[in-house]
Chains A and B, each alone.
Chain A
Amino acid sequence: MRKLALSDEILLTVEKPARYIGNEVNMVVKDLDKIDIRFCMCFPDVYEIGMSHLGIQILYDMFNRRSDTYCERVYSPWVDLDAIMREKNIPLFALESQDPIKDFDFLGITLQYEMCYTNILQVLELSKIPIYAKDRTEEDPIVVGGGPCAYNTEPLADFFDFFYIGEGETAYDEILDLYKENKKNGGSRTDFLRKVANVQGMYVPKFYDVTYNEDNTIASFTKNDPEVPDMVKKQVEMALSETVYPEKPLVPYIKAIQDRVVLEIQRGCIRGCRFCQAGMIYRPIRERDLEFLKERAYEMLKATGHEEISLSSLSSSDYSKLQELVYFLIDEFRSKGVNISLPSLRIDAFALDVMSKVQDVKKSSLTFAPEAGSQRLRDVINKGLTEEVILKGAMDAFTSGWNRVKLYFMLGLPTEDYEDIEGIATLSDKIAREYYTIPKEERNGRVSIVSSTSFFVPKPFTPFQWVRMNTSEEFLEKQRFLNGKMREQLNAKSIKYNWHEAELTMLEGVLARGDRRVSKIVYDAYKAGCIYDSWSEHFKYDLWMKAFEDNNMDPLFYTSRERDFEEILPWDFIDVGVTKKFLKREYERAVSEKITPNCRQACSGCGAMSFGGGVCFEGGVQ
């Protein structure tokens, strides 16, 4: 029988033991005697969240296609097991072999959101790997990070041996080959890292030094090793229909957040919303072939037995063969009881037709993300969604039987004033009014509008990377104001207003645009007991604030400070294709309330054309 790292007694004591036993359907099993490289892939959050992540499934499949490599997985132990492991001195282990992580060649950690940073330190410490990269020896695994937060790695720079910047499909083969070769030649850890630093997209923090000005801004960012490049250019997979994609995704025993087949139909986005980091860093948009997607859908449903398939992309409606794909999925799988879910769909006649076929109209709701309450502010953020379109979409849905609408907005966007905020309340109300223009006998009960606001956090590589973020006090004031306005509306009883926590947002702002000195704050906060920060019941704001105080640092320096265009930003050494010139131009257009056409309407010369494919070469506009 397969031996587990944890005793029965521990497993029967903790919540959801299935988080730690592995052995899921489609788990890869390899003979350790026949492989050269052991790679452990980590999602630093609880199992049910980590298992829902497509990126890890892609990389897990890709690594395991190599006969010389065995890729296994690890997730953050939940707080109950965390305490037991510390008390009993049990080292963190990988799910597949149940072997300690410390025995691996690589520990790869995906960086999906800022608020998981303390969990990374938890994984390192429980694995008994030195938290600081500088303290690691030849015996320790190489710790590599990747994912969207790798576009500003600096707050984590001290903890990682290197970062993979860009899309994972392209360069890992080369890196693993370098590793094997280096090992064969008796090369050291540093020898290997120097070679890695010369692969496009790889950033090895220890080969770069940062100095600071007296005002705490960055004075210089320079390499300290002549053999490494000055700039790091992101990796992009241009052949999305020829690259790896899992045929047999893992199927967890316990319900994961994504308990379904995920089909990534395209990568990137044409829209150019100015607050959106994903819309910039994944440029240019690249579609996958229809036939590729049909085959994958069929294979993955067969191999997993999932009863649902979800299309994944930043804006599904922009996929050029969406109708064909969706009708294929409905015709092929609906009769077999497969549900089809279509997030990020623009509400139009097609969407309503599809939704009426795959969902119970009475139970489902429509979702709009206007992001801002006024047309003026929507122009500032380049969100090409007008009030007219929203009201028409809602009305079409109402006459087809829907009566629930969800609206998503942000508070604290650049140039926002109280009129814009009030616009959120009035737009919510207008939708409700629209509903009540339908004759009473044709209505389907009361209308329900749920409006949610999150707080805007400026992100690197967006036109808003220089802007000042609101303070917690400003956020709360705006929230209170909006709540008041919501109550003044004619249909206030039909509108529910949901909001987010301001303190967590402030910290997210620090980590999103922090520099290397923030590493120490993350370390101190973790050591003081911070972990699972994105879980409100575990978020310890006071401990974070104490860490800033102890280090004589002011979080507002990172959040609520307008940078000027000349300032050296911590992520300036990364080349994402989209140029700083473009971002600056977009910022200027934003403040003058000018919209920029999307990539299919006209090329705005963002710089992503340098990758030689995608929408930039679809023909027509160039």
Chain B
Amino acid sequence: MKARVKFSKTGNLKFIGHLDVMRYFQKAFRRAEIDIEYSKGYSPHMLLSFAAPLGVGLTSDGEYLDMQLLSTLTEEEMVAKMNEAMVSDIRVVDFKLLPDTSKNSMSIVAGADYKISLKDGYAFEAVTDEDGHVLETSLTIENFKEHFEAFIAKEQIVILKKSKKSENEVDIKPFIYQVAFDAKTFAELGGAFCENSVAERYDNDCVCYMQLATGSVNNLKPELVMQAFCQAENVVFNPFAYQVHRMEVYADLGTEEERKLVPLNDVK
């Protein structure tokens, strides 16, 4: 039988990359004696698959993996049993059995919510151009919200996407679904609200929430939005300055005309 697990990842574990997280779960499920089905052959492996890899450095309240089980307990019991084998920085928050006909989570990912925070000790720094001139910027931590709102309100947000062979200009605006600056407003706009969020908090309170296209069809990384914003504001994009936290991952159960994002653990 099929099942879907939702888990959070935070703290020291943000330094563990996706492949190692997969290895971690294989060992954790063996410790917890979860009755997972194995592939056949001489080197059998657990039938597990992850919805959307999380990059190194990111934390999350809403990661998903699908598993093939041979037997199960109740959903609550399964969550408790798995958590006994988890380290403190990874917690299983939900377990749901799925009908056999349900689609693999990886194939249905369409959107995700992110919270982006400016880490303490970092500020916005003006760019110095090739001639050594410091460019003008009026962006500060205090007026971040107004500036970001104006940025996001533009008709088009064109960035240069570099691939191995070519450089393409892409408008990322259509892939930015929602933006807010506090958790409550974000939830009202249809974003996730996590009561016991594991997201790190910073004193400067310089945060924004975004719902972005994610998955195999359209994929927009929150870092790319921040990079475009910084460029528009003439400030240096320092990838270490932002803590990116994923809040939820969605499937799109709507039509071609109208999007209807549903959290993966509510998809049957």
Binding site for B on A (CB under 8 A): 1-2, 4, 8-9, 11-13, 17-18, 21-25, 251, 253-255, 301-307, 336-337, 339, 359-360, 363
Contacts of A360 in B (CB 8 A): 41-43
Query: Quick one: closest A residue to B29, CB to CB?
Result: A305
CB distance from A51 to the nearest CB of B (A): 13
B20:A254 contact, CB within 8 angstroms: yes
Shortest CB-to-CB span from B70 to chain A, Å, is 12
CB of B240 within 8 A of CB of A8, answer yes
Decide yes or no: A339 and B43 within 8 Å by CB, A12-B57, A254-B20 being known contacts: yes
Q: Which one, B11-19, B93-101, B143-151, B259-267, is touching chain A?
A: B11-19
- Chain B residue at minimal CB-CB distance from A304: B27
Taking CB as reference atom, which chain A residue is nearest B24? A253
- Known A23-B87, A337-B44: A255·B15 in contact at CB below 8 Å: no
**Is B240 a contact partner of A253 (Cβ separation < 8 A)?**
no
B154 interface contact, C-beta 8 A: no
* Residue B28 interfacial (CB < 8 Å): yes
Whether B15 contacts A11 by the Cβ 8 Å rule is: yes
Report if B119 contacts A (CB, 8 A): yes
- Asked if B184 is at the interface of the complex by the 8 Å CB criterion, the answer is no
Contacts of B85 in A (CB 8 A): 305
A255 to B26, CA, bound (A): 13
| B56 interface residue (CB < 8 Å to A) | yes
Kindly state the separation between the CA atoms of A11 and B28 in the bound complex, as whole angstroms.
25
Q: Is the CB of A23 within 8 A of B38?
A: no
Q: Contact check, B240 vs A255: say whether CB atoms are below 8 A apart.
A: no
Known: A337-B44, A359-B42. A305 touches B15 (CB 8 A): no
CB atoms of A25 and B20 under 8 A apart: no
A338 to chain B: closest residue by CB: B30
With the chains together, A337 CA to B87 CA distance in Å? 23
A307/B26 contact (C-beta < 8 A), A2-B11, A4-B12, A302-B31 known:
yes
Query: Which residues of chain A are near B10, meaning CB under 8 Å?
Result: 1
Asked if A363 and B42 make an inter-chain contact with CB atoms under 8 angstroms apart, the answer reads yes
**Residue B89, interface by CB 8 Å:** yes
Contacts of B20 in A (CB 8 A): 18, 253-255
Q: How far is the CA of A313 from the CA of B28 in the complex (A)?
A: 28
Q: Which residue of B lies closest to A6 (CB)?
A: B15
User: In the assembled complex, which residues on chain A have CB atoms less than 8 Å from the CB atom of B200?
Assistant: 1
Are A21 and B15 also in contact (CB < 8 A) when A304-B27, A305-B27, A307-B26 are? Answer: yes
Closest to A21 in B: B12
Query: Does B133 make an interface contact (CB < 8 A)?
Result: no
- Cβ-defined contact, A23 with B29, below 8 A: no
27 contacts between A and B (CB under 8 A): A1-B200, A8-B57, A8-B240, A8-B243, A12-B15, A12-B240, A18-B16, A21-B12, A23-B87, A23-B89, A25-B27, A25-B28, A25-B87, A251-B27, A253-B13, A253-B16, A254-B20, A305-B27, A305-B29, A306-B27, A306-B30, A307-B26, A337-B38, A337-B44, A337-B46, A359-B42, A360-B42
Give the residue name and chain of the B residue nearest to A10 (CB): B240
Closest A-chain residue to B25, C-beta based?
A305
- Interface range, B side: 20 to 34
- Nearest CB of A to B168, in Å: 27
- Tell yes or no: B23 within 8 A of A by CB: yes
Q: Once the chains bind, are B15 and A17 in contact (CB under 8 Å)? A: yes
State the CA gap A439–B13 with chains docked (Å).
57
Q: Is the CB of B240 within 8 A of A305?
A: no
Residues in B76-91 with C-beta less than 8 Å from chain A: 85, 87, 89
Question: B243 — which chain A residues lie within 8 A by C-beta?
Answer: 8
Interface residues of B in 36-75 (CB under 8 A from A): 38, 41-46, 56-57
Instruction: Kindly list 17 other residue pairs between chains A and B, CB separation below 8 angstroms, not including A18-B15, A253-B24, A307-B30.
Output: A2-B11, A8-B57, A8-B243, A23-B13, A24-B87, A25-B28, A25-B31, A253-B16, A253-B23, A302-B31, A303-B31, A304-B27, A305-B26, A305-B28, A305-B29, A337-B44, A360-B42
Shortest B241–chain A CB gap in Å is 9
Q: Which residues of A contact B239 (CB under 8 A)?
A: 12
- Leading 9 A-B pairs by shortest Cβ distance: A305-B27, A305-B30, A360-B42, A305-B31, A17-B15, A9-B240, A21-B12, A253-B16, A23-B12
Please pick, from A12, A255, A305, the residue contacting B56 in the complex, using a CB distance under 8 A. A12
Closest to B31 in A: A305
Give CA–CA (A23, B38) in the complex, Å.
29
A310 to chain B, nearest CB (A): 15
Are A304 and B31 touching (Cβ within 8 A)? yes
- How many angstroms from the CA of A23 to the CA of B16 in the assembled complex? 12
Q: Name, among B13, B15, B85, the residue most crowded by chain A CB atoms within 10 Å (CB to CB).
A: B15
Q: B265 to chain A: closest CB distance in Å?
A: 24
Task: Please measure, in the bound complex, the distance between the C-alpha atom of A302 and the C-alpha atom of B29, giving whole angstroms.
Answer: 10
Distance to closest chain B CB from A560 (angstroms): 46
Q: What's the nearest-Cβ distance from chain A to residue B95, in Å?
A: 18
A254 to B56 alpha-carbon distance, docked (Å): 13
A360 to B44, CA, bound (A): 11
Contacts of B30 in A (CB 8 A): 301, 305-307, 336-337
Among A23, A339, A359, the most chain B Cβ lie within 10 Å of the Cβ of A23
- Give the shortest distance, in Å, between A165 (CB) and chain B (any CB): 36
Q: Are A2 and B42 in contact (CB under 8 A)?
A: no
> Chain A residues with Cβ under 8 A from B12's Cβ?
2, 4, 21-23
Residue of A nearest to B23 (CB): A255
